[in-house]
Amino acid sequence: MERCIAAFSSRSTQIGQTYSFDDVYERISESGEKPVLIIFASDYDNFMLYSGLFGDRYPDTTVIGMSSFTSSSSEGGSSSGLAAVAVFSGIECAGGVLNDASRCPLLHKKEAERAISALGINKNDAGKVCCLEFTPAFGKREELVLDAFREASGDLDIPVFGSTAGVRRGTKRSLVSLNGKVYDDACVFVYIRNLCGRIALLRENTYKHTDNFFMITNVDSERRIVHEFNGRPAGTYIAALLGVDPDVLNRDIMLHPIGRIYGENIYITDGESVDKNGSVSCFSYLYNYSRAVLLEPDDANVSSKRLMEKIDRLGFAPSFSVAINCAYDFDIFEDKGFTEDFIKRIGEDAGTFVGMSGCGEQADGLHLNKTMLFAAFE
């Protein structure tokens, strides 16, 4: 029996059609065995339908999913349809929901503690356990959710990785689901123990640093608003570095993300808008008196090649994987005609995988933007 099966279909092009689900269900059912875990991603329009069908067909399986700009697997990918990976053996898992994600998910940390206890996770599991989570977009939820997981794990330091769900184009609506139930203001998660070896979590930036380094000198972290860089209004300062008017920066601000510097690592934060007072609203937390750098796009071939090289250096061939990418990156890939090649490369290097793209990424205890994440299971 295969340990895992990847499936993909984009036959459903209208709301309410089940063709894509039928294709995926047929593929997953080929072994005749019941999956332990299913991870899926789909377009927003049919997400509720697919979630309900998964819940009905697999009542004894942990099924976790999110709405995605692009859904992919080692079987293919597109901006519509459904992608999934089903794992039949070699893992143990326990899932749950953190409700009130945009207000106080910390109140629901017992859900995560319950899952940790159910699996009996302890320090001997280091390198063999992780938590996969999906969180709805545009509620400033991600850092709150990560705090809840951090509190729940205590001194176990369980790695958390995941994605902010993709929205329906032209809206701020996004969805996540667990075991057939759909949520728009809750984080869904599953703790996974790999019984066959290690779990490796990889991260690769798709933007590179410029020579423009500076300090964050006035910020409202919880509201994700930067007032000043180097003691000057943030928007005015960045516009001056780029040699453009603040109005032009406001229009093109997502082309010029900020890199948060932590030791030797650079974590990407996207700007959302330049306010009238010159402040910059961002999509993730920045902190006072920390170093930052202005970023610029890296070559898509170069950054994806770096990710593939990291996969090649793992020292094991993944039996299955989860690939998470920023929706903005996939837009760039589409413009360059690179999407199909990127999905093919992952399949060749990492074998069976499911991929999704959303409005942000979570790794290393931080909420990120414009970042490629990869979880490989030995």
For the stretch 241-257, pLDDT in tens is 999 988 889 888 988 99
Query: What pLDDT, on a 0 to 100 scale, did the predictor assign at position 246?
Result: 84
**pLDDT at res. 346:** 82
**pLDDT for the residue 330:** 67
- pLDDT of amino acid 112: 98
Is the entire prediction scored with pTM above 0.75?
A: yes
Rounded CA-CA distance 320/336 in Å is 28
Interval 36-64 mean pLDDT = 97
Average pLDDT over residues 257-275: 95
The CA angle 207-147-216, to the nearest 5 degrees, is 45
pLDDT at 226: 97
> Which tokens hold the place of 174?
């996004």
Q: How confident is the model at residue 2 (pLDDT cuts 50, 70, 90)?
A: confident
Q: Check if the beta carbon of residue 291 is closer than 8 Å to that of residue 323.
A: no
Question: Which pLDDT belongs to residue 8?
Answer: 96
Q: What is the mean pLDDT of residues 119-141?
A: 96
pLDDT at 351: 81
Cβ-proximal residues to 126 (8 Å cutoff; 6+ apart), any chain = 157
Within 8 A by CB and 6+ apart from 70, the residues are: 77, 78, 79, 166, 325, 327, 330, 339, 355, 356, 357
pLDDT number for residue 31: 87
> In whole numbers, what is the pLDDT of the chain averaged over residues?
93
pLDDT, mean of residues 337-355 = 81
Q: Which helix (H) or strand (E) is 335 found in, with range?
A: helix 327-335
Rounded percentage of the chain residues whose pLDDT exceeds 90: 80
Query: In 3D, which of 203, 115, 204, 114 has the Cα closest to residue 161?
Result: 203
Between 332 and 25, the higher pLDDT residue: 25
pLDDT higher at 156 or 332: 156
pLDDT at site 117: 98
Q: What percent of the chain is modeled with pLDDT above 70?
A: 98
Q: What is the pLDDT of residues 274-330, one digit of tens each?
A: 998 999 999 999 999 999 999 998 988 888 889 999 999 999 999 999 999 987 776
Contact 368, 196 (CB under 8 A): no
For residue 331, is pLDDT > 80? no
CA dist 165 to 44, 139, 279, 376, Å? Answer: 9, 11, 27, 21
Strand, helix or coil for residue 38: strand
Contacts of 216 (CB under 8 A, 6+ apart): 226, 228, 229, 286, 287, 288, 289, 290, 291, 292
Q: Two tokens at 182?
A: 């759909």
82-87 vs 37-42, strand pairing mode: antiparallel
Rounded Cα distance, 99 and 111, in Å: 9
Question: Read out DSSP for 295-333?
Answer: EEEPPHHHHHHHHHHHHHTTSS--SEEEEEEEHHHHHHH
Distance CA 315, CA 233 (A): 48
What is the greatest pairwise CA distance in the chain? Answer: 64
Cα–Cα distance measured from residue 154 to residue 148, given in angstroms and rounded to the nearest whole number: 10
Q: Tokens representing 4?
A: 């895992």
Question: Which pLDDT score, from 0 to 100, does residue 128 have?
Answer: 98
pLDDT score recorded for residue 300: 81
Q: Which of 318, 323, 324 is nearest to 377 (CA)?
A: 318
Contact in structure between 203 and 106 (CB atoms under 8 Å):
no
- Give dist(CA 367, CA 286) in Å, integer: 10
- Interatomic CA distance for residues 244 and 247, integer angstroms: 8
Taking residues 215-227, report their average pLDDT.
Answer: 97
Q: Characterize 155-175 residue by residue with b for buried, 16 or more Cβ atoms within 10 angstroms of its Cβ, and e for exposed.
A: eeebbbbbbbbbbeeeeeebb
